[in-house]
Chain A
Amino acid sequence: MRISVDTDRCVGAGQCVLSAPDVFDQDDLGIVMVLAEPADEPAREAARQAGVICPSQAITVGES
C-alpha cells in the first residue's frame, strides 16, 4: 500500500486521524502527515476509509 498526502489541499478536518490514528496525524498547523505505513489489514482498511472520507481529497491510497 502506498499512501501519499497533498498538504496544500488539506483543510485540517482531522478525520484521517480519527479513522486511522496509527497512520495519520496532524502537525502543529493542523495539516496531515503520514506517521507510518499501515502494518496490518485493519490498519490498511482504516487508511482506505480515511482516503474516502477526507473532505479535501488530500489523501491518495494506492494498493501496489
Chain B
Amino acid sequence: MTTVDKCPVAFPLRQPGQSFPPPQYLQFREQQGLVSTTLPSGEHVWLVTRHEDVREVLTDPRISSNPSHPGFPRAAKTGGVPSQDEVPGWFVALDPPEHGRFRKTLIPEFTVRKVREMRPAIQQIVDERIDAMLAAGNTADLIADFALSVPSLVISTLLGVPHADRDFFETRTRVLVTLTSTDEQRQAASKALLRYLNRLIVIKQKRPGDDLISRLLADGTLGKQELSGVSMLLLIAGHETTANNIGLGVVTLLSHPQWIGDERAVEELLRYYSVADLVAFRVAVEDVEIGGQLIRAGEGIIPLVAAANHDGTVFERPDEFDPGRSARSHVAFGYGVHQCLGQNLVRVEMDIAYRTLFERIPTLELAVPVTDLPIKYDGVLYGLHSLPVRW
C-alpha cells in the first residue's frame, strides 16, 4: 500500500500544448496505487486511471455519488455537481436505492428500440442543419452550425422544450460546463434553467404535448420539482456532450475517410476521445481499497475515464484510432448504475450526423490546420470551441 504522494500532480491534467489524452495518464496507470492530486479548491482527491480500478470505483457500494457527503470533490472550478438538496431530481447525485426510482422512471424513454424509433426525426434535424449550411455559402463553423445545433434540437424535441429557447439554455449550460466559471455564475445559471423549466412544466400541465416532460407529468411518479431537476439534467447532458463528440469525430473521420459510414467508428470515437473524462466525481463513505491503495472514508475520488479507455492492458495500441478493434468495453459513458442514460441516443445521433454530413458534403475539409483548432482546455468536457470548415 502506498502513502499519500508528497507532490500532488496539477489538476486538471489536460493543458494547452499537450497531446490528448494527457501523457501522464500512462505513467499513472503504471505506478502502484493511486495518484493524489489537489483541486484548485485545495481539496485532496485520488485520481483513478486503470480500467479495472475505474470500473471498481464506479460500482463499489462504499463509494458514493452524493455531494452531501463530507469530502465530496465539489470545487466549483472543477465542475462540481449540484446536490439533490440544491436541485431536487438531480439524480446523478443520488446513490441506490433512491437513485433507482428516477432511473427506472426514465429508462423506458431511452431503450435501444425507443431510440431507433427516433431515427427519422433525428435524420430530419440533421438534414435541415445541412440544408442551412449549404444555403449559407461554402464555409461554416461546424460546432455552432451542426455539432451543437443537432443534439440541442434533438434533446429539446424529445423533452418538449421550444426550439426558440435554444440560445437561452445553451448559454446557461455553457456556464455550468466551463471550469473557470465562478460559484456565483454557476448558481445563477442553474437557477435560471430551473426557473425556466418550472414555467415550462406549468405550461405542459395545461397543454400536454407528445414529449417526455408531458409523459412524465402524466405518469406522476416524479414530483413537479423533481421533474424540473430531471429535465434540467437531461437537457444539459443531452446536448453538450454529444456536441463535443460530433465535432471531434468529424475531425478524425476527415483524416480516416475509410471509416466513414461504418458504425464501429462511433464506438471507437467514444472510447478514443472520452469527452466526459472529468465528470464522474465520487467520495468514499467507508474505508475502501482500490488498486492497492487504501482510500479513507471521506476522501474524494475522480475516476478518469479517458485514462481507463487508453489502458493498454484492455485496448491494444490504445492511442491509435482503430474502429476495427472491439471498443465496446470502454467506460466513456461511465459504468455502474449511473452509466449514461442517453448513450443509445448519442450513438444514433453520431451515426446519422457523420453519415449524412459526409454523404451530402463530400468535399468537406478543415478551413484551418488541425493544430490550430481551439481545444476546450477550460471545459469540463473535452471538445472544440469552434471547427472552421469549407467545401
Contacts and interface: CB of A to CB of B under 8 A. Distances in A.
Interface of A: 11-15, 17-19, 26, 28-31, 49, 52-53, 55-57
A11 B344 contact: no
A14 B344 contact: yes
10 contacts: A12-B110, A12-B341, A13-B333, A13-B343, A26-B113, A30-B104, A31-B107, A55-B334, A55-B336, A56-B336
A18 B103 contact: no
Leading 10 A-B pairs by shortest Cβ distance: A12-B107, A30-B107, A55-B339, A14-B112, A17-B112, A26-B111, A30-B111, A30-B108, A13-B339, A11-B337
Nearest to A13: B339
A52 B108 CA distance: 23
B329 interface: yes
B335 interface: yes
Interface in B325-370: 326, 328-329, 333-337, 339-341, 343-344, 347
Contacts of B205: none
Contacts of B335: 55
Contacts of B185: none
Say what secondary structure dominates the interface of chain A. loop
Contacts of B108: 12, 28-30
Interface in B36-90: 59
Given A14-B343, A30-B107, A57 B112 contact: no
Contacts of A14: 110-112, 343-344
A11 B339 contact: yes
A52 B59 CA distance: 13
The listed residue with most A CB atoms (<10 A of its CB), out of B104, B107, B326, B343, is: B107
A53 B328 contact: yes
A18 B337 contact: no
Interface of B: 59, 103-104, 107-108, 110-113, 326, 328-329, 333-337, 339-341, 343-344, 347
A53 B314 CA distance: 12
Contacts of B341: 12-13
Contact of B337 (A17, A28, A53, A56): A56
A35 to B, nearest CB: 13
Nearest to B337: A11
Given A11-B337, A18-B328, 10 more contacts: A12-B104, A14-B112, A14-B343, A18-B347, A26-B112, A29-B108, A30-B107, A30-B108, A30-B111, A52-B329
Contacts of A49: 326, 328-329
B107 A11 contact: yes
Contacts of B344: 14, 18
A29 B107 contact: yes
Contact of B112 (A18, A28, A29, A55): A18
A28 to B, nearest CB: 6
A55 B110 contact: no
A55 B242 CA distance: 20
A14 B348 CA distance: 13
A57 B329 contact: no
B296 to A, nearest CB: 26
B152 to A, nearest CB: 23
B118 to A, nearest CB: 14
Nearest to A11: B337
A29 B335 CA distance: 20
Most chain A Cβ neighbours within 10 Å, of B107, B112, B333, B340: B112
Contacts of B329: 49, 52-53
Given A18-B344, A49-B328, A55 B337 contact: yes
Contacts of A30: 104, 107-108, 110-111
A53 B267 CA distance: 13
A30 B333 CA distance: 18
A57 B58 CA distance: 12
Nearest to B100: A11
Nearest to B331: A55
